[in-house]
Amino acid sequence: MINTALINTELALRIKQSDLKAFELLFKIYHKPLCNYAKVYVYNIDIADEIVQETFISIWDNRTLIDEQKSLNSFLYKCIYNNCINFIKKAQTNRKLSEAYKKEIEYRVRMLEENYSESYFDHLTNEELENSIKIAIEHLPDQCREIFLLSRYEELTYQQIADKLNISINTVKTQLSRALQKLRIDLKEK
């Protein structure tokens, strides 16, 4: 069973020690989810991607300050949140923006500063949800769990999983479908 907290702690420690491979793995794991999270605030995937890229550059530049004892997941999402807020505030001062867009930005900043943002992605940083997901994954049957982890965390294709486990692609598809169905049910009850 993969322990996400242990992996994140190890990644943080290795990045702090200037391990570029660990940093590349961190980027690979978090780039897309962080872009989706940033897009919730800036409403533009290109700008979201730029914010994520700049955040990763800043993390690498300041890697010696990383605290490997704290949640890497929460740290990353908090950095993206702060950088989105900074982007929105800077955009407010840009005189070239249309009046309607300025009003939209002002509204978003007010809502964010007043902590009214209740988007789905805000809950990703919630430790309780993260723990619920880990527990739900741990309760999957062995083969089902292994296939799910290979698919979602190692990003292997159905064929790669089938080859690795010496099973058919149909078994992989069936087990993955069962895993997702069971996780939906387990997490809906939380």
Quote the tokens at residue 38: 């940033």
pLDDT of residue 110: 62
For the stretch 169-189, what's the b/e string if a residue is b when 16 or more beta carbons lie within 10 angstroms of its beta carbon? eeebeebbebbeebbeebeee
**What is the residue-level pLDDT of the chain in tens, covering all 190 positions?**
445 666 778 888 888 898 889 889 889 989 999 999 898 888 888 899 999 999 999 999 998 888 878 888 888 999 999 998 888 877 766 555 555 555 565 666 666 655 544 444 444 445 555 666 777 778 888 888 888 888 777 778 889 999 999 999 899 888 888 887 887 777 665 5
First to last CA, the chain: 22
d(CA 150, CA 155): 6
Look at residue 68 and give its three-state secondary structure.
coil
pLDDT of residue 109: 62
How many Cβ atoms from other residues are within 10 Å of residue 12's Cβ?
21
pLDDT of residue 52: 95
pLDDT of residue 124: 44
Q: Identify the structural domains of the chain with CATH numbers, from first to last.
A: 4-125 (1.10.1740.10), 130-188 (1.10.10.10)
pLDDT of residue 128: 58
pLDDT of residue 113: 57
pTM of this prediction? 0.51
pLDDT of residue 125: 47
